[in-house]
Chains A and B, each alone.
Chain A
Amino acid sequence: MLPILHALQGRFGLIGEEAVRLISAELNLSRAEVYGVVSFYHDFRKEPHGRHVLKVCRAEACQSMGSDAIADSLERALGIKFGETSADGQVTLEAVYCLGLCAVAPSAMLDGRLIGRLSEAKVALLAEEIRL
């Protein structure tokens, strides 16, 4: 079911009620079973996210290089907290636990683009790019 969910979310940006009905009918599963899978995985959403998605790594290797301070300044720069979408729908800020960039920490991913060695200077540039 995961490849189906990835494809639907890739196309529509979220897994809505209709998608759950469709999958349950096609795979001969109850809606509860499908919903159980969708809600289990962090990647799947029921609500649409912002035009940009900024995922910031909060795991240990990034912590050791000061990612907590970087995360705070991102929250301030974007005016939202982790897990939130800005009021203008421009950006969603999410925590992620490890992007496999632990030797060039702290790291983040903006819409699938990887960013290593995050610094205050790079945060300012990122925030500017996101507002465009």
Chain B
Amino acid sequence: MIRVFIPLDSFAVALGADEIADELALAITRSDLDATIVRNGSHGLAWLEPLLEVETPEGRIAYGPIEPGEIAGLLKAGFLTGGQHPKRIGDIQKHPYLANQTRLTFRRCGIIDPLSLGDYRDLGGFEGLKRAIAMTPHEIVQEVTDSGLRGRGGAGFPTGVKWKTVLETEADRKYIVVNADEGDSGTFADRMIMEGDPFCLIEGMVIAGLATKATKGFIYTRSEYPVAIRIVEEAIRLAYEAGIIGKSVMGTGPAFDIEMRVGAGAYVCGEETALLESLEGKRGQVRAKPPLPAHKGFMDRPTVINNIISITSVPIILAEGAEQYKNFGTGRSRGTIPIQIAGNVKFGGLYETAFGLTLGEIVDGIGGGTASGRPVRAVQVGGPLGAYFPRELFDTPFDYEAFAARDGLIGHAGLVVFDDSVDMLKQARFAFEFCAIESCGKCTPCRIGAVRGLESVEKIIAGDRPAENIALVEDLCNTMKFGSLCALGGFTPYPVMSAITHFPEDFHGHSQPVREAAE
């Protein structure tokens, strides 16, 4: 039986992978072909999606990008035996984009059938969990601390320290909450790991439970991710059925339950305390800290709340040891980071590598410049609340501290590339508009500041006293940065201020105002 891999990842599905799978299924039935379809995750080479692979005696041969309607032609070209075709790529693992990566967290993504426990085990699945079961909670926490893993959601807080706090806080019940509420534009790593390797998420959660004596875990994701929701729910069901979770972890450990929850289109629920409120069935409004969720989190119980990429990095740390993981990276940013290259870029996709590449190496080298062929003008790093970097800052190394030193943030490691047609004044306007739409409304700087900021930028666009209004925007940004309760209001100044600082020509270009001339 020949196995053909057609991704179920949203990238591929959005470009017709389901139709292609239907076409092939029909051809298999009609011509009685000796082939079966496996729906795998994505390798992350988005410009090649849908990327089909066929298993041959010489290994897996890839073809892409395939469009609906191409199956007949492919079969004619001997696709099932790895035959020649203009879209034949060969072994995708040897593709420089993939071969140059260091894949730890995403090492199974795209390779396995995400819902096959057999596939998962064959590629090292549950090795970390098996080791964790034999360890004491303190030993597990120590291992994670030693690895240097920091929260991949953006804040970069040491994961081991967070777990230690929860372990040492006494309570009748404790919880693990996985933040998969990835709302930043330019990011898709959370979605890809859920769609491509959901058992890794489950394994990471169980390890976190063992380490902190928590017995229940929640995965909170977005309603905009229909494919991911379906895959993770099915994976949870399979994990229960196989006895990996439930009354006893792997048949020998304590109990651990996992439940999936779906948000309802509120960006702010990606903020950890707003997420907890939402999980409790309330409006997703931010809580003041302290108390920290590690002391009083879900239902006032000690709660580990980790980003999904932090949690899915844990199994390999346990399986191969902290030292091994720590060897990757630079400075205080240890291990690997899945960089998401998006927007107007030739080779967009997911690129997992150790920290330390420069921004220019990522955008020009890996991303290959813009898709439009025009020069790159700006790159927004870290989502809608991240700073816009101009070419002059392309030598910035990709790590938490280096970006902070240049008034930026790496956030969830998403990059959005813009060509020279971008109007930075318009982007600054959008940052305020986004914050105004998504503000939870609890604190004044964010709720009012975003609305006033939007008005002021619109005045600049209209040429109404630009210098004064720019000064007003700067003042508002200062208030929002230091006065907001959470990162939504606190980080909105990053895109706005970076646009003003690095691209002043877009702001003052509007300045020879009709009005002042008339006065």
Find residues 365-384 in chain B having any chain A CB closer than 8 Å to their own CB.
371, 380, 384
> Given contacts A61-B186, A116-B14, is CB(A102)–CB(B342) below 8 Å?
yes
Collect the chain A residues with CB atoms within 8 Å of residue B187's CB.
Answer: 98, 100, 102
B49 A104 Cβ-Cβ under 8 A: yes
A42 B266 Cβ-Cβ under 8 A: yes
B295 interfacial contact with A, CB 8 Å = no
For the complex, count residues of B whose C-beta is within 8 A of A.
59
A85 to B348, CA, bound (A): 34
A97 B185 Cβ-Cβ under 8 A: yes
Collect the chain B residues with CB atoms within 8 Å of residue A41's CB.
Answer: 263-266, 284
Find residues 51-100 in chain A having any chain B CB closer than 8 Å to their own CB.
57, 59-65, 96-100
Collect the chain B residues with CB atoms within 8 Å of residue A101's CB.
Answer: 10-11, 14, 188
B14 A2 Cβ-Cβ under 8 A: no
B185 A62 Cβ-Cβ under 8 A: yes
A96 to B267, CA, bound (A): 11
> Given contacts A60-B427, A64-B417, is CB(A2)–CB(B261) below 8 Å?
yes
Q: Could you mark each residue 151-183 of chain B with 1 if its beta carbon is under 8 Å from any beta carbon of chain A, else 0?
A: 000000000000000000000000000000011
From DSSP, what is the main secondary structure of chain A's interface residues? mixed
A2 to B223, CA, bound (A): 11
A5 to B437, CA, bound (A): 21
A109 to B265, CA, bound (A): 14
The answer, among B14, B281, B342, B440, for a CB contact under 8 Å with A61, is B342
The answer, among A1, A112, A117, for a CB contact under 8 Å with B281, is A1
Collect the chain A residues with CB atoms within 8 Å of residue B278's CB.
Answer: 2
B266 A40 Cβ-Cβ under 8 A: yes
B185 A40 Cβ-Cβ under 8 A: no
> Given contacts A2-B261, A105-B343, is CB(A99)–CB(B10) below 8 Å?
yes
A117 to B417, CA, bound (A): 16
For the complex, count residues of A whose C-beta is within 8 A of B.
38
Collect the chain A residues with CB atoms within 8 Å of residue B188's CB.
Answer: 100-103
Collect the chain B residues with CB atoms within 8 Å of residue A44's CB.
Answer: 264
B341 A59 Cβ-Cβ under 8 A: no
B15 A43 Cβ-Cβ under 8 A: no
Closest A-chain residue to B279, C-beta based? A2
Q: In the complex, how many angstroms separate the beta carbon of B362 from the nearest chain A beta carbon?
A: 13
> Given contacts A102-B340, A102-B416, A105-B343, is CB(A60)–CB(B349) below 8 Å?
no
The answer, among A5, A6, A97, for a CB contact under 8 Å with B434, is A97
Collect the chain A residues with CB atoms within 8 Å of residue B340's CB.
Answer: 102-103
Collect the chain A residues with CB atoms within 8 Å of residue B10's CB.
Answer: 99-101, 114
Collect the chain A residues with CB atoms within 8 Å of residue B223's CB.
Answer: 6, 43
B13 interfacial contact with A, CB 8 Å = yes
B224 A96 Cβ-Cβ under 8 A: yes
Collect the chain B residues with CB atoms within 8 Å of residue A107's CB.
Answer: 14
A115 interfacial contact with B, CB 8 Å = yes
> Given contacts A60-B430, A100-B187, A103-B340, is CB(A116)–CB(B15) below 8 Å?
yes
Collect the chain B residues with CB atoms within 8 Å of residue A64's CB.
Answer: 343-344, 416-419, 422
Binding site for B on A (CB under 8 A): 1-3, 5-6, 27, 36-37, 40-44, 57, 59-65, 96-105, 107, 109, 112, 114-117
